[in-house]
Amino acid sequence: MPVESDSGLADVFDLDSVAVVGCSSTPGKAAHDIPRYLREHGYDVIPVNPFADEIFGRTAYDSLSGVEEDVDVVDVFRPSEEVAGIVDEAIDRGDVQVVWLQLDITDDKAAARAEDAGLRVVQDKCMKVEHRRLTA
């Protein structure tokens, strides 16, 4: 069952590293501004974007499986159709604790698979909105 309670969401914000799949290098896009907000609030944001070499002064990885650092949370800014593959990569890594699907992104089957593998899942919620709401 996806994380929906305030206490469950707050637990996610106690984690440190966030790999942002679909992170954008373009200011003004949600996939850039939300990760920037997370960085400004102390999170270790790891950009994943095969079309960028660097975002926020950090190496941008081509895929989640290529990320060399430990990852606590995978924040997804990709279409719902791509979630299944991202979840597979998250499960295979072995270090991911949470898969967070941004607004309007859902995949119930992939979410169930992630949960069966012991990961927590948040669907169709914005990390920035929820962080602001719970930490204000």
Q: What is the pLDDT along the chain (136 residues), one digit of tens a residue?
A: 789 999 999 999 999 999 999 999 999 999 999 999 999 999 999 999 999 999 999 999 999 999 999 999 999 999 999 999 999 999 999 999 999 999 999 999 999 999 999 999 999 999 999 999 999 7
Give CA–CA dist 6/78, Å, rounded.
24
> Would you say 18 and 73 are in contact if contact means Cβ atoms under 8 Å apart?
yes
Exposure string for 47-80, b = 16+ CB within 10 A, e = fewer: bbbeebeebeeeebbeebeebeeebbbbbbbbeb
> Per CATH, the architecture of 6-135 is what?
3-Layer(aba) Sandwich (3.40)
Q: Which pLDDT belongs to residue 90?
A: 98
- Name the one residue in this structure whose structure tokens are 């309670």: 5
